[in-house]
Chains A and B, each alone.
Chain A
Amino acid sequence: MGAEFVQLSLTPLLIGILAAIACALPGNFLILRRQALVGDAISHVALPGIVVAFLITGTVSTWPMLIGAAGAAVVAVIVIEVIKRVGRIEPGAAMGVTFTSLFAGGVLLLEQSDTSGVHLDVEHALYGNLESLIWITAEGWGSLLDPVALADLPPELLRMAAVAFVISLLVAIFWRPLKISTFDEGFANVVGIPTAAISFGLVICAAVAAVAAFDAVGSIIVIAMFICPPATARLMTNRLEIQVLWSVVFATLSAVLGYVLAGYGPIWLGGENAVSAAGMIATVSGIMLAIACLIAPHRARIGTPKGI
C-alpha cells in the first residue's frame, strides 16, 4: 500500500467506484420502472455518437465525444418513440431495432474511417481501459497534497467525480417526485407531478452516467452497473431509501473487488498477467446478484410462500 499503489491503482480504483455508483443510482429507478434495458441500449448507441464526434473534430478529445454520445442517446430515444408510435411496435422490439442498427452504423463508420492514429476501436469501446488510467506523477500518498502532481490526475477521474456528484444531487433533489412517479404514475399525475418530464429526465440522467462511464471504463461495466447492484439491492429490502443505499454499497464492492481480483487474482493463481478489470467488475457484480438470489431476505415475490 505504498507509492506504487497510489501511482498505479488508486485512480483506476476511484474511477471504477465512481462510475459504478453513477450508473447504479439511476439504475434503481430504471429496474423498478421495467426499463432495465435502457442502459443496455444507451451504451450501444454511444459508439456511433463517439465515432461521429471523432469524424467531425478529428481528435479524440473529451467534450466532443461526450456531446456526440449524449446526442446519439437522445436520437435513439426519439427513434424508439417514433417506431413505437408510428409502427405500433412493442417497446422491447422497438428498442432492439434501434440500438442494434445504430451500433452497426457506428461499427461501419469506425471501420471505414482512418482511426489508425488514435486510440479508438470497438474493443476499446466494449472493454474500456480502466487499467491505463494511472496517475503517472504520483510518488506516494504525499502526492495527494502536492498541487503539481494533482494537476496531472487523469481527467477521467475529475469528470467521473463530477458526473457522480451531479447525479447524486439530482436524485436527492427530485427524490419525492421520482419515487412517487416510479411507484404510482397515476397518483403522481393527479398530485401534479410532471411524470413525462421526470421519466425523460431519468433516461437523460442515465445517458449522461453511461456516456461518462463509457468513456472511462467501457460499456460492459455500464450495463452491469445499471442492473446488477440495484437488482441485488432490490432483493435486500422493501424500502426504496435502503435499496438505494444498498445499491451504492454493492456498486462500490463490485468495483473494488473486481479491480483487485483482476489485478492480483491471476498472480495469486500463479499467472503473470492481469485480466480485464471491466470484465471482472461485471463478473463480481453478477456473483453478488446470484448470491442475493439464493439467500437475500426479500428475494421472493410477495404472496409466494417461503421455501418454494
Chain B
Amino acid sequence: MINVFLDALLLQAGYNAALVAFGAALLGIAAGSGGTFLFLRKRALLSDALAHSTLPGVGIAFMVMVALGGEGRNLLGLLLGSTISAVLGLLAVEWITSRTRLAEDTAIGAVLSVFFGFGVVLLTVIQTMSSGYQAGLEGFLLGSTAGMLFGDAVIITIGGALAVGLVLLLRRPMTLVSFDPEFAAASGVNVQRIDFAVMGLVMAVTIVGLKLVGLILIVALLIIPPVTARLWSDRTEHVVLTAGLIGGFSGYVGAALSASAPHLPTGPIIVLVSFALFVFSLIFAPARGVLAALLHQRRFRIRLHRRQGLLALAQKDAIRDRFTLAVLRREGLIRPDMAPTEAGRDAAAKVLRDESRWAMARRLHQHDKIPGRYDGLTPIESVLTRDEVADIDRRIEGSAGFGGGDGR
C-alpha cells in the first residue's frame, strides 16, 4: 500500500494516474486561490448552489448527445451542458435576491435543492433510456477517476491550467475588490466586472472538478483551503498564495492516495486531505490557533497575578493565592518565606506608583478615551507621553503636599 502510494505520488503509477494527479493539483491551486476571493467576499456558499445546479445540465447534455446519435458521454459536451445550467442557477440566485425579499441564503438553498432534484429526475429518465452509455453519469456526483479516459484527463489538466492562469492574470483587481470594494470602485476598478470574473473562475473550477471531485464535494475545495489559509495570515496576497498551495497539495496527494488502493473515491479523499490540513492549522496556527490562544491566555493570567501580587506586597497585604505566590517566587520577587526580595520591593513600588498615576490620570481625563485604556495591566508609560506622566507626578506630589486636595 505504501509502495503503491509512493509510486502514485512520484508519478510512477502509470501515465493516466500521473496526469490525473497533475490535473488535480492544478485544480486544487485554482480552487484554493479562486475560492479565497469568494470567501473574502463572504459568498463561500454561493459556490454550493453553483455546483449543485450543474446536474440538470449534465443530464440534458447527455440526452441531447444521445438524440443526435452519439454515445452520450463526451466529456466536453457534458461539461458544456453543466456550464449552461450552472449559469442559469447562478442567475436564478441573483434574480431571487435582487427581485424578491428573500435573503441570499434562502435563494442559494432553494436553487441548489431544486436544480439538484430536477437533475435527479433527469438521471432517472436516463437510466431507463435504452440507448447511450449511461454508466458514467453517477461519477459526476462524487467524482471518479477510475476508468477515466486519456482524453478526459487531458481536458481536466488543460482546464486546471487555464483556471490557474486566470487567477495569476486577475489577482490584483480581485484582491482589491474582495478586500475593499468601495475603495476599488473609487480607484477605477469595475467591481461588477471583477465580481463576474470571480464567479467565472469559480464556475471554471466547478466544471473542471465535476469529473474529478464530483458536484457535491467540489464546494469543499473552494472553501476549506481559503479558510485554512486565513488562519495563518491576515494579508490578502498571503492568504491567496497559501490557499493555492494547500489546495494544490490536497489535490495532488488526494489523487495519488486514491489511485493507490481500491475503494478510495477521489473526491472525498481530496476533501479529507485538505480537512486534515485545516485541523492541523486550527491547532497550530500562530495567531488564531488553539495552542496560540491557550498560550496567550496563560501569559495574560501570569501578568495579572504578578501585578496583583506586587500591589499586595506594596500595600503589605498577605498573599494567599497559590498561583500568585508561585509566579512571584519564580521571578525572584519574594523569598520562600514570602518576604519580598530587593527586586520585589522595587517592582512593588513601581506598580504602586503606576496605580496612583493611573488614578490621577483617570481623574484628569474623565472626558476622553484615556480611562478606557485602564485595565489594571497596561503601564501608564505606554499610553501617555513622558511629559504627561511628569505632569501627573507633579499633581500627585501637589495633592499630597496640600493634604489630599484634588490638585487642580
Chain A interface (Cβ < 8 Å from any Cβ of B):
31, 34-37, 39-40, 44, 83, 86-90, 92-97, 100-101, 103-105, 107-108, 111-112, 122-123, 126-127, 220-221, 223-224, 226-228, 231, 234-235, 262, 266, 271-276, 278-283, 285-286, 289, 293, 298-302
Contact = CB atoms under 8 A, between A and B. Distances in A.
Contact of A272 (B120, B128, B224, B265): B128
B275 interface: yes
Given A36-B103, A286-B110, A101 B224 contact: yes
B217 A104 contact: yes
Interface residues of B, number: 61
B108 A37 contact: yes
Given A103-B216, A104-B271, A107-B142, A40 B112 contact: yes
A100 B39 contact: no
B44 A92 contact: yes
A282 B265 contact: no
A75 to B, nearest CB: 14
B264 A40 contact: no
Given A103-B217, A231-B106, A286 B128 contact: no
B103 A31 contact: yes
B48 A276 contact: no
Contacts of A86: 282, 288-290, 293
Interface string B193-220: 0000000000000000000000011011
Contacts of B138: 123
A220 B119 CA distance: 11
Contacts of B119: 279
Nearest to A43: B113
Contacts of B235: none
A278 B216 CA distance: 17
20 contacts: A36-B105, A36-B109, A37-B105, A40-B113, A86-B293, A87-B285, A93-B226, A101-B220, A104-B272, A111-B268, A220-B120, A228-B110, A234-B102, A235-B101, A262-B121, A279-B123, A283-B118, A286-B113, A289-B114, A299-B99
B377 interface: no
A278 B109 CA distance: 16
B154 interface: no
A122 B217 CA distance: 13
Given A235-B100, A272-B128, A299-B100, A278 B120 contact: yes
Contacts of A286: 110, 113-115, 117-118
B260 to A, nearest CB: 14
A111 B110 contact: no
A108 B269 contact: yes
Contacts of A83: 227, 282
B117 A281 contact: yes
Given A86-B293, A235-B100, A276-B123, A100 B271 contact: yes
A78 B103 CA distance: 25
Contacts of B42: 90, 92-93
Closest 8 pairs between A and B when the two form their complex, measured CB to CB:
A282-B117, A286-B114, A100-B220, A279-B120, A104-B268, A224-B113, A104-B271, A279-B121
B112 A223 contact: yes
B227 A93 contact: yes
Contact of B106 (A31, A273, A276): A31
B100 A37 contact: no
Contacts of A36: 103, 105-106, 108-109
A87 B227 contact: yes
Contacts of A103: 216-217, 268
A39 B118 contact: no
B137 to A, nearest CB: 11
Contacts of A299: 99-101
A275 to B, nearest CB: 4
B263 interface: yes
B370 interface: no
Contacts of B106: 31, 36, 227, 231
A174 B159 CA distance: 53
Given A36-B103, A100-B217, A101-B272, A278 B223 contact: no
A213 B48 CA distance: 22
Nearest to A86: B290
B74 interface: no
B120 A37 contact: no
B162 interface: no
Contacts of A281: 117
B358 interface: no
Interface string B85-129: 000000000011001111101101110111111111101110010
Point out which of A100, A107, A226, A275 has the most chain B C-beta atoms below 10 A from its C-beta: A100
Contacts of A271: 125, 128
B141 A300 contact: no
Interface string B282-299: 100100111001000000
Contact of B124 (A37, A101, A272, A279): A279
Contacts of A272: 128
Contacts of B290: 86
B109 A39 contact: yes
Point out which of A34, A96, A271 has the most chain B C-beta atoms below 10 A from its C-beta: A96
Contacts of B217: 100, 103-104
Contact of A276 (B101, B120, B267): B120
B230 interface: yes
A100 B214 CA distance: 12
A97 B48 contact: no
A12 B226 CA distance: 43
